[in-house]
């Protein structure tokens, strides 16, 4: 039985990952940014016992350190880190270069990069150092995006942050391999989280489903199943890899 810390686990993909890890027998620290009640709902949906809830804004390095300390002590050592928390594209942070002023442009970049890239980098450092100190192997799985490759013209900070996250994961894979720590990333396409229900069921739904030759969008449970593999000993030789996970909706050379 392993202990895992999943960031952004109060709903959507993070909740599915936390539930899948718990079903495997892992104890899980469920992280939330602001909505503790949603995190509590995640824990109620999880199998097993010994799970904990940790909250805080990952854009604050000191808060990130406290989150890791709390999770590590509560679980007796974190073996698996899933960097899932992210500021996702939405109408409020749209920042197309031809649509927003310079002030809004800067604000969008800072808000997104601070969580999606720097937050994940700090969490990785904090967990990895604790693993190294106790001479224990471990796993880091980064939840990136196909947007890192296909481009995000309306949300360039998001695309850049996810591309940076993939590159960061590869750097850490090399740096942490001597310590027995496996680092991988997954790059999902469009996923049917609860926040996307309106888009999927609305007028945009047909277009979204048509992006994949399978004629549908992915599900949080499918992402979770992939994370189960990436956080298992069987994935050791995948360290440094970025798993495209978009139903052939975007193919890169």
Backbone dihedral angles phi then psi of residue 232, each to the nearest 5 degrees: -120, 160
Kindly list the distances between the CA atom of residue 132 and the CA atoms of 128, 138, 246, in Å, as whole numbers in the listed order.
Answer: 6, 9, 34
The answer to whether the beta carbons of residues 89 and 151 sit under 8 Å apart is no
At 39, list the tokens: 């995190």
Contacts of residue 125, Cβ cutoff 8 Å, sequence gap at least 6: none
Residues forming beta bridges with residue 5, ordered by sequence position: 29, 81
Q: Which of helix, strand or coil describes residue 13?
A: helix
Q: Compute the radius of gyration of the chain from its Cα atoms.
A: 17
102 is known as an active-site residue: no
Residues forming beta bridges with residue 244, ordered by sequence position: 187
Distance CA 247, CA 146 (A): 11
The answer to whether the beta carbons of residues 205 and 199 sit under 8 Å apart is yes
Q: Which of helix, strand or coil describes residue 188?
A: strand
Closest Cα to residue 141, out of 88, 78, 193?
78
What are the residue numbers of the active site?
158
């Amino acid at each position: 039985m392993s202990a895992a810390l999943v960031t952004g686990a109060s709903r959507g993909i993070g909740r599915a990952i936390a539930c899948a890890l718990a079903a495997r027998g892992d104890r899980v620290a469920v992280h939330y940014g602001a909505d503790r009640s949603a995190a509590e709902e995640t824990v109620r949906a999880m199998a097993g016992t010994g799970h904990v809830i940790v909250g805080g804004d990952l854009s604050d390095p000191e808060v990130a350190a406290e989150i890791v300390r709390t999770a590590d002590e509560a679980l007796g050592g974190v073996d698996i880190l899933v960097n899932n928390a992210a500021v996702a594209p939405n109408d409020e942070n749209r920042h197309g270069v031809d649509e927003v002023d310079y002030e809004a442009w800067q604000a969008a970049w800072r808000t997104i990069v601070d969580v999606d890239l720097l937050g994940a980098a700090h969490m990785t450092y904090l967990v990895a150092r604790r693993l190294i100190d106790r001479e224990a192997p471990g796993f880091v799985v980064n939840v990136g995006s196909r947007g890192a490759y296909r481009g995000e013209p309306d949300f360039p900070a998001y695309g850049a942050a996810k591309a940076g996250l993939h590159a960061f994961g590869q750097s850490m894979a090399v740096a942490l391999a001597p310590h027995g720590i496996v680092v991988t990333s997954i790059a999902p396409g469009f996923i049917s989280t609860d926040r996307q229900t309106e888009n999927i069921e609305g007028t945009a739904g047909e277009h979204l489903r048509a992006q994949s030759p399978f004629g549908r969008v992915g599900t949080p449970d499918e992402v979770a199943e992939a994370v189960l593999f990436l956080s298992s000993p069987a994935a050791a030789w995948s360290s440094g890899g970025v798993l495209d996970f978009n139903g052939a909706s975007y193919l890169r050379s």
